[in-house]
Structure 1
Amino acid sequence: MQIKMTSVFVDDQAKALKFYTENLEFIKKYEVPVGEFLWLTVVSPEAPDEIELVLEPNNHPAAKAYQAALKTDGIPCLSLAVKDIDAEYKRMQGLGVEFRSPPTDMGPTRAAIFDDTCGNWIQMYQS
Structure 2
Amino acid sequence: MRRTFGRALAATLLVMVLSMADWAAWLGWDQHMDELPDGSVRGPYEAWQVIGLVGVLLVIGVVVARRVSAVAAVLGATLGMTAAAAYDWSDDASGLWVIGAGLVMLGTFVVSLFVAVLARFVRRPAH
Tell me the TM-score normalized by structure 1: 0.29
If each structure's strand is expressed as a fraction of its own residues, which one has the higher value?
1
If each structure's helix is expressed as a fraction of its own residues, which one has the higher value?
2
Tell me the TM-score normalized by structure 2: 0.29
